[in-house]
Amino acid sequence: MEEEEQGGKKRRKMRRKEEEKRRKRRKRKRKEKKRGERRKGRERRRKRRKEERKRKEKKEEKGGKEEKGGKEERKRK
């Protein structure tokens, strides 16, 4: 009888430990996910800024007037 009770206690103790580990792991994952999302947002913003700069440079090289002229021609047709 005593051995069976001890076995039950051990199992309960092990289960509790495993549950605590799971909780900690979930908490850690949540934190990492939040951090990752913030980091991704920053990276996206950087990419957008880079692309915008490239577009602006191309426009300056071509000249903004040429683009406007193209739009007017489309309207005439």
Q: Residue 73 has what pLDDT?
A: 58
Distance CA(4)–CA(2), nearest Å, equals 5
pLDDT tens for the chain, residues 1 to 77:
455 677 788 999 999 999 999 999 999 888 877 777 667 778 888 999 999 999 999 888 877 555 555 556 555 55
CA distances for 30 relative to 40, 43, 65, 71, angstroms: 15, 20, 51, 50
Radius of gyration of the chain (CA): 31
